[in-house]
Structures are given as structure tokens and as C-alpha cells.
Amino acid sequence: MATTQPYERSFDEDVAHTTNTCPECEGRVTTNTHETVCDDCGLVLTDEKFDRGPERTQFEEDEGPDPSRTGAPLTPTRHDGGLSTEIGWRQNGPGQPSGAQRRQLARLRHLHRRSQFESKQDWYRMEGLYEVRRLTSALELGRGLRNQACSLFSSLHEAGLAQGRSLPAIAAVAVYVACRVNGLPWTQTDVLEIADCDRSLFRTTLQAARQKVGLELPPRPPASFIPRLVSAVDAPDEVRTRATEIVQSLPVDAYTGAKPTGVAAACVYVAAQERSMSITQAQLAEEADVTTVTLRSRMSVIEGVLEER
């Protein structure tokens, strides 16, 4: 009886293999690591790529068995890194559990929730990270900045700043510092509008955070507030371009010690007046969170610099 070669049930994806012929031109078909394609006409038959290995590589210096599967990545937005599990309420099996089984499951859920916190500090940290996630969601911030704010809150919590202080105030400070470091045009007023603390408590907590962990906040350039102010008053792009040119032409001593939002509002107003735009000083002052007196004083300085040049 004639014998045949056994069928190859697997193959090395790093080496090209020749299989059947092309259904269009009867040419040679080659399978490589990415796709199965005809060498003559270029017809792609399949383009699926298989990954038969684990999610991580075992190195020589690592100890223990080689894990074939890994879980979700760690996240700084959770007090436990996002590794804890939860006993759900959905009934998957047939029928309904008895009363004793329901009481047992309720007790297991209660004990399981308690086991996620090693101490009272972990509970406070969980509450604070929840507040940080709420603030970043209300401000429509990205995932990267949310993770940065949560990491900063964890650092402040581990440094002992939470002892005797309000967790919402620390969360607001973490979000404000993350926005300021990344150059976003969110002010203290914007954060306090959605935070569960007042301005005096916020400033006291910010000062304590500076002394506790040595926070160094960079000065905010007035140019970062111009796009937001232009969008708030519905001004065209030419006003934004001209206002940016004005603020970049100012010397540093022209706005040293001044509120950056007031300088930006004055630049926008001067640019709008050059373009004959009907924008009032009160409207810009309200959007910039300054008074009209501050706006006019900044305008006089800017107009003096422009006349000299």
C-alpha cells in the first residue's frame, strides 16, 4: 500500500511557504508572516496574521514560570492598580438561588469588598481618586492627563497631605497642577466651579502641597489663553492670529506680575478693534475672570508698546 507524507498541521510563520495555485491566473501562491499572496498577479487571498505566542516575553533574569497570559495593565486611576475583581449580581445558571444561597452570596460580596482595602488609608485614597476622575471627566480632559492627575494625588496622599485636610481639595489641586504643567488654559475658577471646596481651602491646600512635595508650577504664558477667549466671544481666526502676534511681540517686563488671562484678553480686544469687531470690554473681562479696570490697564500698556514699535 502506498504511503503519503503526513499533512503539516502547523508552520513557522517567519518562513515563507508555497501552497496552492492562484484561482485567477494559476500562479504560485506564497504564505508569509502577514498574508497569502500570488507571486504572479499579486492577488491577496488572505491577510490575517496569527500571534501564537504569549503576551510577554520571559527573560533569563526573570524568576518563576513563563506566564502564557497576562491581565489588564496597571492603571494609576485605581487605588489597587485596577487588579481587583467584583462578584457580580447576574444569575447565569438555571433557576433561582434559594434564600440561604442569596444570603451567602451577599455575605461573600460584602467580605470581598472589604478585602480590597488593607487599611483606612486605602479607602481614603479610593475616594480621592474617584473625585479626581470626576473632575477630569467634567473638564473633558484626556486619558493621559487624567492618569497624571491621579498619580499626583497618590503622591500627595503618600506624603501625608491628606491628614487633617479635605480630599476634594487635594483632588482639585492635583487636577489644577496637571492642567497647568501641561499648558492647558484651565484656571482655578474653572476647577473650583465643579470642585467640592471653596477658594480659600483650595489655596491653602495648594500652598501645603508646594511645601510638602516641593511642587514647582511654571508661569502660564498669556498666549495659551487666547484660543479659548477667541472661541468664547465667537471671533474669527484672523483675530486669534493677530492677538497671538501681539502677545508674542510684547517684552516680558510688560506683563510680569500681571494676570495672564487679563493680558490675553487685552490682546484679543486690541486685535478685535483693529479688525473693527464689535466685542465689548465687559464680555472679554467676564470670560477672562478679570475686571474691566484690569483689562483697560493692560490695554494701555499694550498700546504703548505697539506705538513705540
Tell me: the pLDDT tens digits for 233-275?
888 889 999 999 988 888 887 777 788 888 999 999 999 988 8
Backbone angles phi, psi at 22, to 5 degrees: -75, 135
Residues 6-14, mean pLDDT to the nearest whole number: 44
Q: How confident is the model at residue 173 (pLDDT cuts 50, 70, 90)?
A: very high
With a CB cutoff of 8 Å and minimum separation 6, the contacts of 195 are: 135, 168, 169, 171, 172, 175, 202
The answer to whether 37 and 43 are in contact (CB under 8 A) is yes
> Which of residues 15 and 56 earns the better pLDDT score?
56
The reported pLDDT for the residue numbered 135 is 94
pLDDT at 53 over 60: no
Lowest mean pLDDT among 91-95, 104-108, 127-131, 210-214: 91-95
Distance CA 124, CA 132 (A): 12
For 85, the grid coordinates are: 475583581
Q: How confident is the model at residue 131 (pLDDT cuts 50, 70, 90)?
A: very high
31 strand-pairing partners: 17, 36
Whether pTM exceeds 0.75: no
Q: How confident is the model at residue 67 (pLDDT cuts 50, 70, 90)?
A: low
The reported pLDDT for the residue numbered 114 is 76
150: left (phi over 0), alpha (psi -120 to 50) or beta: alpha
